[in-house]
Structure 1
């Protein structure tokens, strides 16, 4: 067996196996590119090593672009896109001021966490609605 055929087969298998250990569909597409070079080297003997590597790089780029354009865009969208972005998930929440907003700064308690807030001056106990977030500070307005 020729060394180049064996090498590309091994690279393709290793990349596809690496995908199972680090899922994310990136290594899989590199494995497809290596498998395509393997088939090319198997069917057309005598391809220079530099041409094989260039073909692998080009096919890797193309396969990743195909994944990003066709497959990734068709993944279902989450019904809770702010699930792991806690501050963004708080926008729209109505809460009671724990500490009055004085000179534009105050504090609310939402669930089990206390949050610094900015907004118009309001007394403690007033109801406020979270309208935005600035880092870890919530921007609030009086809840009507």
Structure 2
């Protein structure tokens, strides 16, 4: 009696791939591919002992997961919008009006329809400042002549 046939491995692989479609985040994809790989090997080598099949399944699962992890870490992610969700970085170099005087290095500037905390040299209400950097949610400013 055969404990694991190639049909069993292919069915397991298919089931895991179907479950992956429902949102497992990539985890079941590689395990499903490992099961399908063992299924193909079992089809090609029908006398493969079940112990070796399980060992190959574990090994393939680990190797595929490690490969995907390495691939994700080494992939260069370039964006056509590098400042997306980094609104403060997008403002560096632009000039804005002081909406609350910068006194003792702290104040607020008007950016579009919002107000941002600002840090920099003292500046009077209504004066113009240039954003030169960002420290968390605080924009770093310098006076504009």
| Closer, same or farther: CA 2–107 of 1 in aligned 2, 3 Å | same
Query: 2:56 aligns to what?
Result: 52
Q: 1:57-102 CA distances to partner (integer Å, 9 max, x unpaired)?
A: 33323431564378x44x6x22211112223333233211111110
Give the distance between the partners of 1:94 and 1:24, measured in 2 at CA: 43
Q: CA RMSD in A?
A: 3.0
Which is higher, the Rg of structure 1 or of structure 2? 2
Distance 1:26 1:132, change over 3 A: farther
Alpha carbons 2:130, 2:144 under 8 Å: kept: yes
Structure 2: gaps spanning 5 or more residues: none
Residues 108 and 117 in structure 2, CA contact (< 8 A), matched pair in contact too: yes
The count of residues paired between Structure 1 and Structure 2 equals 141
Contact 1:91 1:131 in 2 (8 A): yes
Alignment of 1:50-89 (within 5 A): 50-65=54-69, 67-68=71-72, 72-73=75-76, 77-89=78-90
Give the drift of 1:9.
2.3
Q: 1:87 to 1:62 in 2, by over 3 A?
A: same
Taking structure 2 as the reference length, the TM-score comes to 0.73
C-alpha distance in 2 between matches for 1:40 and 1:8: 10
Would you say the 8 A contact 1:96–1:126 is kept in 2? yes
Alignment check: 8 A CA contact 2:101 2:125 kept: yes
TM-score using structure 1 length: 0.74
